[in-house]
A and B are shown apart, each in its own frame.
Chain A
Amino acid sequence: DAGVIQSPRHEVTEMGQEVTLRCKPISGHNSLFWYRQTMMRGLELLIYFNNNVPIDDSGMPEDRFSAKMPNASFSTLKIQPSEPRDSAVYFCASSWLGGSGNTIYFGEGSWLTVV
């Protein structure tokens, strides 16, 4: 089975530009998570969805960040306008909420550099 698929894997963009990160969760999973990893702050949970509905977006740093999940197989994280401090690795993860557990499985990450 395919794992969590993220795109792009790497992106370099100029300050002020819009950035859109994409994620396809594991088929059958009903929870989706967006994390950001930086050296200073470690792994931060930005937002998570259950059954395509945002449950907790308290980790979203500012209004410049937005996330959507229009259907069970696709999610986006958008940054507009981007700033150099947004440079980080953004991980998408998914899990099956219910049954015997809720282990989250990560994509390979999207490495974002804002110059």
Chain B
Amino acid sequence: AQSVTQLGSHVSVSEGALVLLRCNYSSSVPPYLFWYVQYPNQGLQLLLKYTTGATLVKGINGFEAEFKKSETSFHLTKPSAHMSDAAEYFCAVSDDFGNEKLTFGTGTRLTIIP
């Protein structure tokens, strides 16, 4: 069975500061890892995903995440926060080479302080 833990249900950072959203996973097989973002009243949008290969993955809107097998982590970062980054962020894991049966974390709400 897989599971995802997102540390911190709410994170606040100042505009221009580093954004760090934490995600740890549990999987019995090599995982496929995803970060999704949800803006108010909108569907989840894929930010980035890790399947195989390079462990540092770059996504949209300047976000990136690094797969660290030894730490079973897939933390999401952005060097400089923008007001438009305020949203809910979900980490997810799949044990398939497709995107079926995603297991989601509980989400982290990111607030940007002007």
A binds B: no
Binding site for B on A (CB under 8 A): none
